[in-house]
């Protein structure tokens, strides 16, 4: 009998749910049927009915009039700084309150900005928005003390937010389910371009951020599940400007009191990031952060390209956990790439992983960095060839133009199929599309970077470099294969009858002459030949010459002087030899310092053929490298090929 009563009650409950659902549908239909189109124009009058022929004058009139399902059509023109787009009522599911620029995107210009305070279900489309007193748009709770009610289900499309006089360009706080699509942000704000505090389920898609200062994108304050995807972030206008970051410090009264982390489950994917004068991304007390399939170009500073930061503790121990950097292309066109992964913090970085990336430093080595266990050169599945993007040294002024510069091409064999699908599988899914919306994967695997190539494997494109390309006989040249397209075999012809099938061979030229070198690279799709006419020049050995006999490098510590001048340094003793390997006096030696310090120096050898150089001081120490760049002495031409050594490295301490 008791079971019968439960069953009966269950049937009754199902009936109530069905009735409520039916009423909700009916109310939604009624709301849609009663929806009204209103108009606002710069030649209107707020005493008029708000029609297209008799529009209102101000947005404020519309704010207080519209209800769920209504649309406010704002005609072209500039609206005053005291006239703010600010909904005063809630929309409803399927019947939002809509504001739109009626005469086309950006035709309606708002100088009073936008403000959504504690309201839900609003859609905003096509405005040019700035503010002389605040932000381009601010979405926030209704009460700044109780932080309730939270704004929810706000959709923003095709808007340009720019040049606020103060504060952030786009500010979001204590709000949920916000969607921004095809929006632009620019201009110095004095603060973040996009600053989001304690927001949940927020998505930015195809956002164009440019000419910004301080920080481009940050989600903090206990934000959950934010996504920033398919964007372009370019042209930081100040030193120290970060492109993106996970987490960050914020005032305690505005944070999620139940969260131990500044951000959780944040995803930055399929973005192009260029010309950032500080880290392109960093983590500040995060729990699960995903930075993958981004194309990062010419970014970084002394704090690295990717940084583990040291903001004040949020609620926990200040550490970040489960932070993943996968499938990204890191490109430096100038060839002066700095440390990729930088540890700015002594706080925990647990399960802080990176792999399946591409690194290209214009042919120069990728810096190993000082953070133990985070050397990009040790990534097991990463690639280090030229990404061969469409116009990777190019420039643009639009979102589409920047994308066209960094598109993947058939020659991007260091990217195609070299990524992984597993970068975000726990708990986030893999990246299932690229910046253009193309489904991933298109080939045998995920591609690295923001774009997915549609085409598949291609024949190789042969290329190579030799070092040195001129010198005295006998001259040994080291050849390096730079071919793209993943060749599986190589055929070298050195021009003197010598050949090789090695990938990176060395060859000795014994006769004085000029030699043409060619390389044929082959894979399953075909072969390609690169020929460099008159590439190697071998000259007659002079009767006298000079070269580096030895480099002695020792680590030292300076504990005196001002605090800023104390720390670790290195001392290099360079010995110069003549053609007979006898010590040589009066040789001007030029060197460079690299590693944890940088600089250049020159000096002249003494009667023992030696000159001593002292590096700059680094308070923390690290790797010190001394490299000889040139020797000069009248009548003794420098024969670098005879050097006993050219560079030396030590670790101090």
Burial of 214 per CB tally in 10 Å (0-12, 13-18, 19+) = buried
pLDDT (0 to 100) of residue 383: 98
Q: Answer whether 464-539 and 546-652 agree in fold.
A: yes
Whether pLDDT at 430 is above 90: no
**Residues facing 172 on adjacent strands:** 139, 196
Q: Please name which of 247, 254, 251 lies closest in space to residue 268, comparing C-alpha atoms.
A: 247
- The pTM score is 0.67
Whether pLDDT at 481 is above 50: yes
Q: Please name which of 203, 160, 198 lies closest in space to residue 180, comparing C-alpha atoms.
A: 203
Q: Alpha-carbon distance 195 to 187, whole Å? A: 14
Q: How far is CA 223 from the centre of its chain?
A: 20
Structure tokens at 271: 């973005």
Whether pLDDT at 331 is above 80: yes
Q: What is the mean pLDDT of the chain?
A: 89
Q: Say if residues 286 and 245 touch (Cβ distance below 8 Å).
A: no
**Residues facing 30 on adjacent strands:** none
**Which DSSP category does 23 fall into?**
H
Q: Say if residues 150 and 175 touch (Cβ distance below 8 Å).
A: yes
Q: Alpha-carbon distance 516 to 14, whole Å? A: 85
Which residues, other chains included, contact 622 with Cβ-Cβ below 8 Å and sequence gap of 6+?
Answer: 370, 568, 595, 596, 651, 652
Of the listed ranges 17-31, 34-48, 84-98, 152-166, the one predicted with least confidence: 17-31
CATH class of the domain whose range is 464-539? mainly beta
- Region 230-242: mean pLDDT is 90
Radius of gyration of the chain (CA): 31
* Percentage of the residues of the chain whose pLDDT score is greater than 70: 91
Whether pLDDT at 115 is above 60: yes
CA dist 261 to 217, 266, 313, Å?
17, 11, 9
If DSSP codes are grouped into helix, strand and coil, which group holds residue 596?
coil
Which residues, other chains included, contact 339 with Cβ-Cβ below 8 Å and sequence gap of 6+?
Answer: 300, 304, 305, 367, 369, 370, 371
Return the domain boundaries, the chain.
Answer: 464-539, 546-652
- Region 129-143: mean pLDDT is 92
Half-sphere exposure of 58 (CA within 13 A, CB side): 15
pLDDT (0 to 100) of residue 33: 45
Structure tokens at 517: 């070198």
Whether pLDDT at 15 is above 70: no
Q: Alpha-carbon distance 587 to 607, whole Å? A: 10
Count other Cβ atoms within 10 Å, centred on residue 619.
12
Q: Which one has a higher pLDDT value, 458 or 14?
A: 458
| 51-107: pLDDT as tens digits | 888 899 999 999 999 999 999 999 999 999 999 999 999 999 999 999 999 888 899
Q: Alpha-carbon distance 312 to 284, whole Å? A: 9
Whether pLDDT at 415 is above 80: yes
Q: Which one has a higher pLDDT value, 149 or 444?
A: 149
pLDDT (0 to 100) of residue 134: 81
Fold of 546-652: Immunoglobulin-like (2.60.40)
What are phi and psi for residue 537, nearest 5 degrees? -120, 120
Q: Please name which of 278, 266, 260, 275 lies closest in space to residue 344, comparing C-alpha atoms.
A: 278
Q: Say if residues 327 and 363 touch (Cβ distance below 8 Å).
A: no
Match 């620019």 to its residue by tokens: 186
Whether pLDDT at 21 is above 60: no
Q: Alpha-carbon distance 44 to 46, whole Å? A: 7
3-state secondary structure 283-319: EECEEEEEEECCEEECCCECCECEEECCCCCCCCCCC
């Amino acid at each position: 009998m008791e079971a019968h009563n439960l069953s009966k009650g269950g049937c009754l409950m199902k009936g109530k749910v069905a009735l409520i659902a039916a009423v909700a549908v009916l109310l939604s239909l009624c709301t849609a049927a009663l929806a009204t189109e209103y108009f606002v124009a710069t030649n209107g009058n707020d005493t008029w009915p708000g029609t297209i022929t008799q529009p209102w004058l101000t947005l404020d009139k519309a704010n207080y009039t519209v209800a769920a399902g209504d649309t406010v059509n704002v005609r072209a023109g500039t609206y005053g700084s005291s006239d703010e787009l600010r909904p005063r009522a809630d929309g409803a599911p399927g019947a939002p309150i809509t504001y739109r620029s009626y005469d086309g995107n950006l035709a309606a210009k708002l100088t009073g900005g936008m403000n959504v305070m504690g309201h839900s279900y609003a859609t905003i489309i096509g405005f040019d928005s700035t503010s002389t007193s605040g932000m381009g748009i601010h979405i926030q709770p209704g009460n700044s003390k109780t932080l309730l009610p939270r704004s929810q289900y706000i959709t923003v499309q095709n808007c340009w937010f720019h040049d606020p006089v103060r504060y952030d360009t786009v500010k979001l706080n204590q709000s949920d389910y916000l969607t921004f699509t095809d929006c632009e942000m620019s201009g110095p704000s004095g603060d973040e371009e996009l600053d989001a505090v304690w927001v949940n389920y927020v998505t930015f898609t195809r956002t164009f951020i440019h000419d910004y200062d301080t920080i481009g994108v940050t989600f903090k304050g206990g934000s959950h599940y934010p996504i920033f995807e398919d964007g372009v972030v370019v042209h930081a206008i100040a030193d120290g400007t970060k492109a993106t970051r996970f987490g960050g410090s914020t005032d305690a009264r505005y944070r999620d009191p139940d969260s131990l982390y500044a951000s959780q489950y944040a995803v930055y994917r399929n973005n192009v990031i260029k010309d950032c004068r500080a880290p392109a991304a960093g983590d500040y007390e995060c729990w699960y952060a995903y930075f993958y399939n981004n194309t990062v170009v010419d970014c970084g500073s002394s704090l690295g390209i990717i940084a583990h930061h040291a903001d004040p503790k949020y609620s926990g121990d200040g550490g970040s956990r489960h932070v993943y950097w996968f499938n990204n292309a890191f490109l430096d066109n100038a060839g002066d790439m700095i440390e990729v992964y930088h540890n700015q913090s002594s706080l925990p970085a647990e399960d802080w992983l990176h792999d399946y990336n591409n690194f290209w430093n214009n042919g120069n080595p990728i810096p190993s960095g000082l953070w133990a266990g985070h050397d990009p050169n040790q990534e097991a599945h990463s690639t280090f060839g030229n990404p061969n993007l469409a116009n990777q040294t190019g420039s643009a002024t639009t979102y589409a133009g920047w994308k066209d510069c960094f598109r993947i091409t058939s020659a991007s064999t260091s990217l195609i199929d070299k990524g992984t699908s597993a970068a975000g599988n726990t708990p986030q899914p893999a990246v299932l599309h690229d910046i253009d919306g193309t489904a991933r994967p298109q080939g045998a695997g995920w591609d690295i970077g923001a774009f997915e190539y549609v085409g598949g494997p291609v024949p190789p494109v042969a290329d190579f470099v030799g070092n040195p390309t001129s010198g005295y006989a006998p001259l040994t040249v080291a050849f390096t294969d730079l071919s793209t397209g993943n060749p599986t075999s190589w055929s070298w012809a050195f021009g003197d009858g010598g050949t090789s099938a090695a990938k990176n061979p060395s060859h000795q030229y014994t006769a004085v002459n000029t030699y043409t070198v060619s390389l044929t690279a082959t894979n399953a799709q075909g072969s390609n030949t690169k020929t460099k006419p008159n590439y190697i020049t071998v000259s007659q050995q002079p009767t006298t010459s000079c070269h580096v006999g030895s480099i002695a490098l020792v680590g030292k510590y300076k504990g005196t002087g001002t605090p800023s001048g104390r720390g670790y340094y290195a001392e290099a003793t360079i010995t110069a030899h003549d053609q007979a390997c006898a010590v040589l006096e009066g040789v001007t030696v030029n060197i460079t310092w690299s590693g944890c310090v940088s600089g250049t120096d020159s000096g002249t050898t003494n009667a023992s053929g030696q000159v001593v150089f002292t590096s700059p001081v680094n308070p923390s120490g690290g790797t010190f490298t001394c490299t000889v760049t040139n020797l000069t002495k009248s009548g003794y031409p420098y024969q670098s090929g005879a050097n006993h050594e050219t560079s030396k490295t030590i670790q101090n301490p």
